[in-house]
Chains A and B, each alone.
Chain A
Amino acid sequence: MSEPTAAITARDVVKHYGGSTMPVVALKHVSIEIRDNEFFTLLGPSGCGKTTLLRLIAGFEQPTKGAILLFGDHLEGLDPNDRPVNTVFQSYSLFPHMTIAENIGFGLKMKGESQGAIDNVVKDMLSLVKMESFGDRMPNQLSGGQQQRIALVRALAPKPKVLLLDEPLSALDLKLRQAMRTELKRLQKETGITFVFVTHDQEEAMSMSDRVAVMSEGELQQLDEPRLIYERPRNRFVANFIGDVNLVDATVKSIDGENYVCSHGKIEFEVAKILERAVGDKVTLAIRPEKFNIGNPESSMFEGTVTESTYMGTDTYLDVQIDETTNLEIRCQNEHLQQQLPGVGEAVGLNVPSGAATLLED
């Protein structure tokens, strides 16, 4: 036994909604392993199935096919109240007729803990989010951000094995959202509980997660660390969904040790051999806009003509035409006032460092 047991194992999970005649497919054969004590994020556009997967883990829905395991135990047939898993809801769902302390203590009370033990945990939980004096207030007396924190510790209070978070930051304003990201990450580290976080916001996913699962149309597109999701997107969907990207059609020209040399017209890119491809195969390359180095047209790998230039403060975005059919988006950092960037209509030399371009599956 070398592999530790995963916190959550989803095995070939399928979920259909509606009748058997016109079923809506929410999940198609999704298999995911979520490790113990990690901050795991399900990322995708709305309707990608991320919330469905979360609800299946919580027990609000039952999978049509497949199995979900919690630390190796089957969850099939267990109601939400029989699963040692708690949820932080998008709309907080604090009980309006109970005080903050009663809200936080609700889960423990249902588990049959003594009032003394409940009071202690409630105190700890309130100090965890620095809201010690709020115990006697009612939910409607709290601001959105405060309600959010209470919803969080209410779900943490019963010490669940896994905490599920359903877009909990989407109702907050930007400043508060950024502050809550740091706080969530801190709470995850302090409590050591596995967090499964659902969001459509890539920044949220990148900044908090140990690993991110990108989903689209009920399928898992890629599961990796944030860095790899960004630097090595597996396919067009992931490359486009996370950040900005240039997709370049190319042909495998030669194999050079651990790299392929791919050509687009006269331009050659060196890409890591992450997929099996033969010489002559058509491939798609992904290059992030900030990977290019600009230089003199004469001494650079290739050149193009600037067709558009947009000053954005930290960066300047250039739109560069390199041949009749291909335009590249290039991002240059604005270093100092004296920096001279090529203007519209001028020629510009472009360099792509080895490994900056990556091979896509499709």
Chain B
Amino acid sequence: MEIKLPANPMTRRWLGLAPSVIIIFVFMVLPILLLAVYSFKPADSYGGVEPGFSLDAWTQLFFDRDLDDTLIFDPVYLQIIWRSIVLAAIGTTLSFLVGFPVAWYIVQQKKETRDILLLLVTIPFWTNLLVRAYSWILILGKNGMIEQPLLALGIIDDSLELMYGNLAISVGLVYSYIPLMILPIYASLEKLDFGLIEAGHDLYADRFTVIRQIVIPLCAPGIVAGCILVFVLSLGDFISPSVLGGGKKMMLSNLIQFQFSSARNWPFGGALTMLLLILVGIGSWFYIKASRKVEAMEK
């Protein structure tokens, strides 16, 4: 049997792309659109939605409805959103401060050593996210690997309370996502012309100045990519806050999960999801802008 392909090249192109377009649309775009629609519907008491239109979910982000139906400004959700942004930003900053020197070190090694080191960097990805988070309890927890020797040596006499707080969450975020910081930075450092570093040293710049004024500006796309990846994933992370934060410090994703499970408020969950999407979108926009600037320069 002969299959006749359409003569128009445009139609042919779309026909070839059709399977992927359908999969992306059905499994990614459609659910997101559905959530967007749900966020504008009134919630019913059983976790579903009622027909009609309502801005309740969106007003709930900022206001609490009093008994007499007046809206009172309630920052509780904004606080959670703000905490998510701050924790994700701290996690991203720490990842950069640790990840950049690591990438810098790796790129200066011999080819074979580099490959091994890069493989080692990806090790955290080999195990389940949850298991990784639990392993940090053993390190940071009461009588954990940090506290025990300090207690035994008498340097401290009480628990440091390292667990279940912002510190533990930040550590969890850094540990989970640092490979995503190191790899893009490494990729851009690898392309860097090391003659420029020598030129910088030759023109009286010390090591630190060369990194700040030559390496970092030229590796901006890699650095921004790493930061966006870590920031976005940290913002959406719910394992670190629930396992290492003990659920006491909620982040946006915990709140979203809560709306779809125990709280059974799908419209509010949808609104929160849309908000997260907007925040991520803003971050990505900055990335595209920054990388275009560098591309134009290198042409």
Contact = CB atoms under 8 A, between A and B. Distances in A.
B198 interface: yes
B202 A58 contact: yes
Interface stretch (A106-114, A120-128, A182-190, A351-359): A106-114
Interface stretch (B71-79, B84-92, B128-136, B203-211): B203-211
Contact of B203 (A60, A79, A106, A140): A106
A111 B198 contact: no
Contacts of A96: 196, 218, 297-298
Contacts of A87: 198-199, 202
B214 interface: yes
Interface residues of B, number: 20
A93 B214 contact: no
A154 B203 contact: yes
Contact of A95 (B206, B214, B294, B299): B214
B203 A107 contact: yes
Contacts, number: 64
Given A97-B217, A110-B209, A89 B297 contact: no
B195 A110 contact: no
A140 B193 contact: no
A95 B199 contact: yes
Contacts of B299: 140
Contacts of A95: 196, 199-200, 214
A97 B297 contact: yes
A110 B200 CA distance: 9
B298 A107 contact: no
B248 interface: no
Interface string A78-104: 011100011101010111110000000
A80 B210 CA distance: 12
A59 B200 CA distance: 13
A110 B204 contact: yes
Nearest to A60: B198
B12 interface: no
Interface in A154-173: 154-155, 158
Contacts of A155: 202-203
Contacts of B206: 79, 81
Nearest to B209: A110
Contacts of B200: 95, 106
Contacts of B202: 58, 60, 80-81, 85-87, 155
A155 B201 CA distance: 12
Contact of B195 (A58, A93, A140): A93
A138 interface: yes
Given A89-B199, A91-B195, A93-B199, A107 B204 contact: yes
B25 to A, nearest CB: 40
A305 B155 CA distance: 100
Contacts of A86: 202-203
Interface residues of A, number: 25
A291 B199 CA distance: 46
Given A106-B203, A107-B203, A140-B297, A80 B195 contact: no
Nearest to A141: B299
Nearest to A82: B204
A93 B196 contact: yes
Interface string B216-244: 01100000000000000000000000000
Contacts of A85: 202
Interface string A48-63: 0000000000111000
Interface string B184-201: 000000000101101111
Nearest to B293: A97
A81 B201 contact: yes
A93 B209 contact: no
Contacts of B198: 60, 80, 87, 89, 93
Given A87-B199, A96-B218, A110 B205 contact: yes
Contacts of A93: 193, 195-196, 198-199
A59 B218 CA distance: 24
Contacts of A106: 200, 203, 205
Interface in B155-201: 193, 195-196, 198-201
Contacts of A60: 198, 201-202
B158 to A, nearest CB: 48
A205 to B, nearest CB: 23
A137 to B, nearest CB: 12
- B200, B204, B218, most chain A CB atoms within 10 A: B204
Given A93-B193, A93-B195, A93-B196, A110 B297 contact: no
Interface in B96-121: none
Contact of A89 (B195, B214, B298): B195
B204 A158 contact: yes
Given A96-B196, A106-B205, 8 more contacts: A58-B202, A81-B201, A81-B205, A87-B202, A93-B199, A95-B199, A95-B214, A107-B204
Interface of B: 193, 195-196, 198-206, 209, 214, 217-218, 294, 297-299
26 contacts: A59-B201, A60-B201, A60-B202, A81-B203, A81-B205, A81-B206, A86-B203, A89-B198, A89-B199, A91-B193, A91-B195, A93-B195, A93-B199, A95-B196, A95-B200, A96-B218, A106-B200, A107-B204, A110-B203, A110-B209, A111-B204, A138-B297, A140-B297, A140-B298, A140-B299, A154-B203
Nearest 3 CB-CB pairs, A to B? A107-B203, A110-B204, A93-B199
